[in-house]
Structure 1
Amino acid sequence: MKITSNFDSGNIEIIKADDPADIQLAIRKDNQSDFYQWFHFRLNSPHPQLHKITINNASGSAYPDGWQDYQAVASYDRQTWFRVETEYDGKVLTISHYPEAESVYFAYFAPYSYERHQDLLHQAQNDYNCQLIDLGETLDGRDMSLLVIGEPDDSKKKIWITARQHPGESMAEWFIEGLLDRLLDEDDGVARSLLAKAVFYIVPNMNPDGSVRGNLRTNAAGANLNREWQNPSLATSPEVYLVRQKMLETGLDMFLDIHGDENLPYNFVAGSEGVPSYNDHMRQLEQDFKAALLTVTPEFQVKYGYDKDAPGQANLTVATNWVAEQFKCLAYTVEMPFKDNADLPDAAFGWSDIRSMKLGQDSLTAILQVVDKLR
């Protein structure tokens, strides 16, 4: 029997792995950080029996409440990720699975590999309407890549979308893949209408170093990028620094920052109500966007979400708040679950990569409903 995480986005530490009925593991902390929750490892076992895998340090993770009602995902082909029996007793997380093949992968959520990220970028640039721009490098020397979709024109709205500031939130890049599939479809009426009115600036992965390293929340320097937007630096948060500079150069009329939430089993958005410049126009745009998305898909809801900041009390180091205050625009954080959507549960797959992609596609219809009102 063998357990390994020596691959892209792999994360696990082996404590004991000589008995299929009693495998003891731990999740490795993010580099230079105490955050941890993301795991991704492979089990090779010749034993045709139930395997019990215990993650011993689950209670000390970044979001221990996130383990309640959570089911890990597994895959035999790294394409289809299904949910497996998982229990949390307040201290340890136990995954129980009877492998149907010698090798099986387990993960916190369906991984989005760096190789697939490169494919996404270069398949997109093949479209006549898309340009791939290199903004600079991360601390580990990886590219910070921006996709510009549409013909730039001052009369068009500028819509920025960023994803995966927190690398373990892989559903965010699946969301972007779905959105791009639709936005680059020349036969899609919503896409054609949007690109006649707007230019999209999309960063599919804000944190490629953390993604490859198997981090939950931080970059190679241990920085939480979504707390770096007020004063980013090339020394600790070049990802934010480079994207922020480009935003200031191009201007911005609407912003979506795509994330995943460990605790809440719902899709929801978080706005910028607490920024000093919040006004009636921004409030109306938020309401219109939410109303449109509610109409488009039952996967979205507005009953559950984060508490709103009091007026003037927003944390301006957070991307959505900094952007809203800097550009006086509609800015939303989009959150998806690691668990399942409790409004539309799926016992076999839970909230998944495929459903994340479809929500990305549906979001374009909601954007179309507000694009004419952005200025």
Structure 2
Amino acid sequence: MIRISSSFDGGNIRCLTCTDSSDIRLQIKADAAADFFQWFHFRLTGGQGLACEMKITNADQASYTKGWEGYQAVASYDRENWFRVETVYENGHLVIRHTPDVNAVYYAYFSPYSMERHSDLIADAGQSPDVSLSVLGETLDGQDMDLLTIGEAAPDKEAFWLIARQHPGETMAEWWMEGFLSRLLDEEDAVSRALLEKICFYVVPNMNPDGSRRGHLRTNAAGANLNREWSEPDMKRSPEVYLVREKMISTGVDFCLDVHGDEGLPYNFIAGTQGIPSWTAEKDRQLTDFKRLWQQVNPDFQTTHGYPVAAKGKGNLAMCGNYIAERFGCLAMTLEMPFKDTADTPNDLWGWSPERSKKLGASLIDVLQQMGDRLIPPSE
């Protein structure tokens, strides 16, 4: 007998019918207290050797329907190795076709990053003598807001902030963090050692623990889109942003990267903060140099495709990158990675994947080193 289930960390699906393996009908559940939905993650049991066809019947009502075009779902038997399976978007349905080799198989919008794995990431990082773990406070569901301080703060050292997964369904962001942290904390990596001599890193690997555990696409437990809360966060609606922002104000920010995923565009790219009132030609040169260097260091990153650039003074200061760039006068950016494969550097089996996300994260170390003092805001 076929069974569909999603009552686990990060799970999301509603089963309408699964009596016939060739006509399994499903729906994605919306975020609590919000209308966003696109993230799915479920397990199918009892389908070994059967040609299963799973139709997500409300796909045409999802938050980003362009995201379904050219998209392939991921599947896993062991929850460690995720591969792409045949997927088409037709007649308003997202149709996943797969014949499982074993009795139980997991399907997801992208390779999941569970809160259990987040705990492992924090515990592993905490073994480094360079790391200090602090809990900034609690989320609405009572989960810890973890901050990793890497290196010692000092008057002659810069404060670099990296945050990820404001939107919980963008799991590639925390895979990216895993790669970045692994390299930064590698005691045998000379480039990382050199960076830690002059920079104190403040890292929040998961900005939205509640949405992550609940299986949300974009919001926290209150239905707040955290990347629209930075101008006026509060503890009742967006404690995650409030707590992190207060810490940023106390440490100062000399550089910030906010790590995300994009549903529609099959590229890795940077969204800058050209729309802030204080944008200058010098900041534009700084941003251009940063992007060109990353493209040279890792060809999975590109500079041709991305979001339209806002006119100066028209940027939304409730968004993280814009708020921080304007408030602290530093280079602040948003990294976007694809749910699909990368169009310029495709991989037919894995698509854009956890491993590629981790390698992109690790490659930032070289970019930071090569940028050197060009990242430092001018003294007032």
TM-score scaled by length of structure 1: 0.99
Q: Secondary structure at the match of 1:281?
A: helix
Deviation string for 1:92-124 (max 9, x for gaps)?
A: 000000000000000000000101101111110
Q: Secondary structure at the match of 1:331?
A: strand
Distance in 1 separating the partners of 2:239 and 2:272: 25
CA contact (8 A) 1:164 1:207 kept: yes
Mapping 1:95-244, distance limit 5 Å: 95-244=96-245
Identity %: 54
For residue 327 of structure 1, what is the amino acid of its counterpart?
Answer: F
Deviation string for 1:211-250 (max 9, x for gaps)?
A: 0000000000000000000000100000000000000000
Mapping 1:244-323, distance limit 5 Å: 244-323=245-324
Deviation at 1:369, TM superposition (A): 2.1
Distance in 2 separating the partners of 1:307 and 1:46: 44
The farther-off stretch of 42-51 and 69-78 is 42-51
Mapping 1:6-25, distance limit 5 Å: 6-25=7-26
Deviation at 1:90, TM superposition (A): 4.8
Distance in 1 separating the partners of 2:250 and 2:347: 44
Mapping 1:52-91, distance limit 5 Å: 52-91=53-92
The answer to whether residue 55 in structure 2 is matched with residue 49 in structure 1 is no
Q: Secondary structure at the match of 1:154?
A: coil
CA contact (8 A) 1:157 1:371 kept: no
Q: Secondary structure at the match of 1:199?
A: strand
Distance in 1 separating the partners of 2:189 and 2:373: 19
CA contact (8 A) 1:20 1:47 kept: no
Distance in 1 separating the partners of 2:264 and 2:277: 29
CA contact (8 A) 2:39 2:169 kept: yes
For structure 1, the 5+ residue unaligned runs are none
Distance in 1 separating the partners of 2:12 and 2:308: 32
Distance in 2 separating the partners of 1:324 and 1:364: 21
Deviation string for 1:351-370 (max 9, x for gaps)?
A: 00110000000011111222
Distance in 2 separating the partners of 1:279 and 1:334: 21
Distance in 1 separating the partners of 2:47 and 2:278: 62
CA contact (8 A) 1:33 1:222 kept: yes
For residue 103 of structure 2, what is the amino acid of its counterpart?
Answer: E
CA contact (8 A) 2:338 2:352 kept: yes
Structure 2 equivalent of residue 93 of structure 1: 94
Deviation at 1:46, TM superposition (A): 4.6
Distance in 1 separating the partners of 2:335 and 2:241: 18
Distance in 1 separating the partners of 2:110 and 2:332: 26
For residue 184 of structure 1, what is the amino acid of its counterpart?
Answer: L
Deviation string for 1:265-312 (max 9, x for gaps)?
A: 000000000101112332122112112101101101111000000010
RMSD (Å) for aligned C-alpha atoms: 0.8
CA contact (8 A) 1:257 1:320 kept: yes
Deviation at 1:65, TM superposition (A): 0.6
Distance in 2 separating the partners of 1:8 and 1:368: 37
Deviation at 1:47, TM superposition (A): 5.0
Distance in 1 separating the partners of 2:363 and 2:262: 19
Q: Kindly tell me: are residues 179 and 18 of structure 1, through their superposed partners in 2, closer, same or farther at Cα, counting changes over 3 Å?
A: same
CA contact (8 A) 1:278 1:328 kept: no
For structure 2, the 5+ residue unaligned runs are none
For residue 155 of structure 2, what is the amino acid of its counterpart?
Answer: D
CA contact (8 A) 2:48 2:101 kept: no
